[in-house]
Structure 1
Amino acid sequence: MIIWVQLPELKIHFYHKEVLNTLGNLIGRTIKLNYHTLTQQRAKFARLAVEVDVSRPLVPRIWLDDDCQPVEYENLPVVCFECGKIGHSSATCPLLWSALI
């Protein structure tokens, strides 16, 4: 699934095509970099499209140097905050329910 992600308040020295592609590949597989991100017109956040494996937990943050960089996902379907997978909520998480049985 291809999803747009935001890296809020990413330090401006990371706003280079190669670096942004590498960051996207830490989240999934980089598909596209947003034009405004590449031209540094809007430095409030970096925006990139990544392909993620929805059968695996989403990456909530990445480490850059010694800083924790949050990853925000745009327009996601239902996400479980117990196991991090897309498609069900925490209330119906199979992982949680199997632990209770």
Structure 2
Amino acid sequence: MSLGVMLRVDELTSIHSREKFARICVKIDLRRKLVPSFTTLGKDFKLEYEGLHQICFSCGRYGHKIDGCVELAKETK
């Protein structure tokens, strides 16, 4: 299983690698289900996604919701 392509690691996360959480930026495929958690080395990790309210799950673009999707409006005409 893969979460996606890692783009960057938060600077504080890389300095303090043993804290309670890590903040990373990952490119994900919006056509796949979002993963709520994963297990590695026998330890479970919960995931929190930021910015989901700005993603259109119809066209996969960032910056608008499905109700304001121009691409979806074109398809329904």
TM-score range normalised by the length of the shorter chain: 0.5 to 0.7
Alignment partner of 1:87 is 2:57: yes
TM-score of the superposition, structure 2-length normalised? Answer: 0.61
CA root-mean-square deviation: 2.7
Corresponding residue for residue 73 of structure 1? 49
Which of the two has greater helix per residue?
Answer: 1
What CA distance in whole angstroms lies between the structure 2 residues aligned with 1:41 and 1:70? 17
Segments of 5+ residues of structure 2 without an aligned counterpart are 59-77
The aligned length equals 58
What CA distance in whole angstroms lies between the structure 2 residues aligned with 1:57 and 1:78? 17
For CA contacts below 8 A with separation 6 or more, give which structure has more relative contact order.
1
Segments of 5+ residues of structure 1 without an aligned counterpart are 1-24, 80-85, 89-101
- Tell me the secondary structure at the aligned position of residue 45 of structure 2: strand
Alignment partner of 1:60 is 2:30: no
Work out the percentage of aligned pairs sharing the same amino acid: 29
TM-score of the superposition, structure 1-length normalised? Answer: 0.48
Which of the two has greater strand per residue?
Answer: 1
Report the structure number with the largest CA radius of gyration: 2
Corresponding residue for residue 64 of structure 2? none
- Tell me the secondary structure at the aligned position of residue 30 of structure 1: strand
